[in-house]
Structure formats: structure tokens, C-alpha cells
Amino acid sequence: MFYTPASTWSQMLKMGEIQPSDIIHIYQKRSEVVEKQIKGFLNYFETPVRLNSGQSDFQDIPIVFKDNICLAGYPTTCGSRILAEFVPPYQATVSQKVLNAGLPILGKANMDEFAMGSSNENSAFHPSLNPWDLERVPGGSSGGSAALVAAGSTPWALGSDTGGSIRQPAAFCGVVGMKPTYGRVSRFGLVAYASSLDQIGPLTLTVRDNAQLLNVIAGHDSADSTSLKLPAEDFGRDLGKDIRGLKIGVPREMLAEGVDPEVRTAIEKALGVFESQGAIIAETSLPRLKYALAAYYLIATSEASSNLARFDGVRYGHRSARASNLVEMYTQSRSEGFGDEVKRRIMLGTYSLSSGYYDAYYKKAQQVRTLLIQDFQAQFETFDFLISPTSPITAFRLGEKQQDPLSMYLTDILTVPVNLVGIPALSLPCGFDSQNLPIGLQIMAKPLAEAAIYQLAQAYESATDWHMRHPEL
């Protein structure tokens, strides 16, 4: 029963077929069995956090948060030693929305430190493991959230996506993950990595659940200056509608050299499913896409350098006991508190923002970003959707890429363009490779077209059974 979708739980509760306490008990017992194998939690709540007054169609259906989303009165570590003892005194907007909807929070999920990573191995505490193969990574940085959903420890979870951190682990773990349009979900209370790229989104077992959870967390927030002022909408309103005549573009650069042959075959078969349902498929090109990864790692690290300057051992977070003066306190606190990957990105960002290099690196990367935005806008004048693999490969082994940061960064090559241009994109399961590892399909659309993405994704999901396959733990 732990692989029951949230929407099914909701119906069962309405019909009186199960009690709220029974649902909580199911996931608590499941976690007792599998958590020591996958290590998905950083903080597991023996008594779930909830508001007794919260109400919605999904009240009493539990959820897990990535540990960079603030929950007032509970530790928020961001997977980092520097915040190991930090307890936020305020509530993230999405936390309040979830509590207002009556969803009990089971705990905080593991993550790459400050969301910087593609494998979950950069957590300062322990790596999470992929439920499909415990010798492989679950992806990152929302790897804990994805692994917990895939393992049946929670029916759904929240993650954050700066360059693929929801979609890539969703692909590696065989679940559904959505990166909404930038500004669709409030970032207030999300500990910042790269402010112009970060976005909170849902990880779920099904497309319908994903749309329903986005309904809960989306909406304008005056506390977030980047939040879009839009009326509330039902993201699941087009589920089940015919996709006949919808136009799908397949950028040849996203199926080029570097994409594993088994991944390419799975995507081609998925395109055949869409075509059999009446969608129109055509190859297209994004020639400037090759610059996206370089632009991303300049912009993201520059913003990280700025955002992480606040962790200095003064007001909160780790403070070194070995410092004898102010400069030593800064240096020692940050040296002891940050991990290698975070230090690497801070240094890269500080360098690219420094005098004499700003125009050559950061400014140039922002100009490339503008060109990419124009390229995607032009595509969406012709196509309703663009489709690609979510990741060029399936889940790799623990430690396989730890000593080669560039190889690790290349796993994000198909996801980072979406964050740079601010559009919505969803990953859903579309097959398995010869190692029985999940393969993810990425659906991209123009800004604010989440409902259309869900329509197309559910049309595929209803014609296949990949989402019904679960790991044996």
C-alpha cells in the first residue's frame, strides 16, 4: 500500500475506506524497513509536523521536504556542517501552504550540500542511495526526496531545482519531477543557492499527484519579489484530454553524442507513443545550446558566491573555536563548515565576479542566457513542447565521478538550459536500461504552460506502465 498515489489516498479517505492515522502508520512502518538501506532522511520526525486546522482534498496525506526548505522550529541543515545546528525561527511560504492544506510532514530529506551536486554524495552527513540499486546514486541535489518517493517511504515530496536538481534525481529514481516556471512557487524560506535559477517543485509517483501538489504550493507571495502575480489555477485541468494535433519538437543537440544508446532508444520509443496518440513529431535544432552548461556554471557559481557570503560564523551557523581574531573566525568557520564542492563553487563564482574578469565571464554568460531565451521563444512559436532525455545516462555508481567534477557537471547538460530560460519542465519515467535502472523523459514548454505539460505527460503515462514498476527493497 505504500505505493498508493496520493490522489488514491484522498479518494479512500473521502469514502471512509481508511483512517488518517492508518496512512501515517503505513509510511512509518515502511521507513523502519527501508530507511537503513536508502538513507533518504536527514531528520525523521517520530511525530509528524502538522496543523490541526489545515484543510484540503489532501489533508492527512504525508509529505517530505528537502532540507533546504525552512520549517519553523525544526533543523534546516542544507546538508552542510555550517548549518548543522541551525533552527529557523520562521516558516517558508511553501511550508505554510503545505501545513494549511493539512498535510503532515514526515521529515527533512537528504541533499547535496547547499543543493550543489548531481549525486547526493556532497551531503556533509551521508550519501543517500538509489532504491533500484543500492550501489548507485539517486541523483542530486534532491536525491533524498526522490529516493524516499521511489522507495515508498512517502507518497510525495518537495525538492528544489537550480539546474536539474528535481528532474535528474526523478529520472534516476523512476519518479515524476516538475521544475515549474521561475516565479510560479515562492522562494521565501528556501535557502538560496542561485537566486535567479532556484525553484521549488514536487516529486511524486504519478503525473496527477504532481499536478495536485503544485496546486498546493503555487501562488503569488508578497514576501518574494520574484513571485509572479497570477490568479490561482488548477494545473490538472487538462488531464485526460486528447493530445491529437499537438506539436512536439525534438532538438537534435539533445539526442546527440554523449547520450547513452539505451537512453536514446527509450526516448525514440516514447516519441512513438506520442505519435500513435496523434501528436505531431518533428526534429528541430537549438544550435546555441552547446553554450548553456558553461553559462550556467558561471551564473550559478557567481550567485552562490554572493548568497553564501552570509554564512560567516557571526549571527548563526557554525563558528570555529580555533579563531583568535575576526579574520581567522571568518576563515576557519567557512573552512570547517563548507565541503569541497561548495568551496569550489564559491571560488569559481568569486573569481568570475572579480575586478577585471566580470565582463569576460559573468557578463558574457548573462548575454548567452539572453540568446538562449530567444532561441527557446522561437521554438515555442512552432512547437507546443520540446522533448529530450532528462539525463544522458542512467544512475552511476557511488564514487564513480567524485574525483572528476567536470564529468559530474556534464550529467546536468540536458537540464540546465531550462533553468537559464525560466521555463517549466517535467521528468517522467519512460523505460529501463539493461541494468534495470530507470530512464527519464523530459518535457519542456513555454512559460506558465505547466497544465499543458501535465496533459502530455499523463497521456504518455496512461499508455505505459513504467510508473507502476517499483524497486524491490
The alpha-helical segments, DSSP class H, found in 15-73 are 20-38
Assess contact for 76 and 89: CB atoms under 8 A: no
Q: Is residue 212 assigned to a domain? A: yes
Assess contact for 63 and 100: CB atoms under 8 A: no
Q: What angle do CA 391, 397, 401 make, to 5 degrees?
A: 75
- Proportion of the chain in helix, strand, coil states, percent, rounded to 5: 40, 15, 45
- Give the pLDDT confidence score for residue 64 in this predicted structure: 98
Q: Is residue 85 assigned to a domain? A: yes
- Give the pLDDT confidence score for residue 94 in this predicted structure: 98
Q: Is residue 231 assigned to a domain? A: yes
* pLDDT (mean) for 84-89: 95
- Give the pLDDT confidence score for residue 407 in this predicted structure: 86
Handedness of CA 293, 201, 459, 446 (dihedral sign): negative
Q: Is residue 54 assigned to a domain? A: yes
Q: Is residue 327 assigned to a domain? A: no
Confirm whether pTM is higher than 0.85: yes
- Give the pLDDT confidence score for residue 328 in this predicted structure: 93
> Distance of CA 72 to CAs 99, 188, 201, 240, Å?
11, 13, 20, 38
- Give the pLDDT confidence score for residue 403 in this predicted structure: 84
- Give the pLDDT confidence score for residue 304 in this predicted structure: 97
- Give the pLDDT confidence score for residue 461 in this predicted structure: 98
Q: Is the pLDDT of residue 120 over 80?
A: yes
- Give the pLDDT confidence score for residue 50 in this predicted structure: 93
Q: Three cell numbers at 221? A: 507571495
If you search the block for the grid coordinates 532525455, which residue do you land on?
389
**Cα distance between residue 408 and residue 116, in whole Å:** 11
pLDDT tens sequence across 13-66? 999 999 999 999 999 999 999 999 999 999 999 999 998 777 888 999 999 999
19: domain CATH number is 3.90.1300.10
Q: Is residue 115 assigned to a domain? A: yes
Closest CA to 416 of 286, 300, 305, 259: 300
Percent of the chain topping pLDDT 90: 93
**Cα distance between residue 119 and residue 141, in whole Å:** 7
pLDDT tens sequence across 201-217? 999 999 999 999 999 99
pLDDT tens sequence across 312-328? 999 889 999 988 899 99
Q: Is the pLDDT of residue 193 over 80?
A: yes
Closest CA to 194 of 236, 226, 150: 226
- Give the pLDDT confidence score for residue 160 in this predicted structure: 98
> Distance of CA 333 to CAs 318, 319, 338, 349, Å?
6, 5, 8, 19
- Give the model's confidence band at 404: pLDDT under 50 very low, under 70 low, under 90 confident, else very high: confident
Known catalytic residues are: 66, 141, 165
Q: What is the SS3 assignment for 270?
A: helix
* pLDDT (mean) for 98-106: 97
Q: Is residue 106 assigned to a domain? A: yes
**Cα distance between residue 140 and residue 172, in whole Å:** 9
* pLDDT (mean) for 369-380: 98
pLDDT tens sequence across 427-463? 999 999 999 999 999 999 999 999 999 999 999 999 9
**Cα distance between residue 215 and residue 124, in whole Å:** 33
Q: How many domains does the chain have?
A: 1
Q: Three cell numbers at 420? A: 537559464
CA-based Rg of the chain, rounded to a whole angstrom? 21
* Parent domain of 74: 6-240+456-468
Q: Is residue 334 assigned to a domain? A: no
* Dihedral pair phi/psi, residue 456, rounded to 5°: -65, -45
* pLDDT (mean) for 240-251: 98
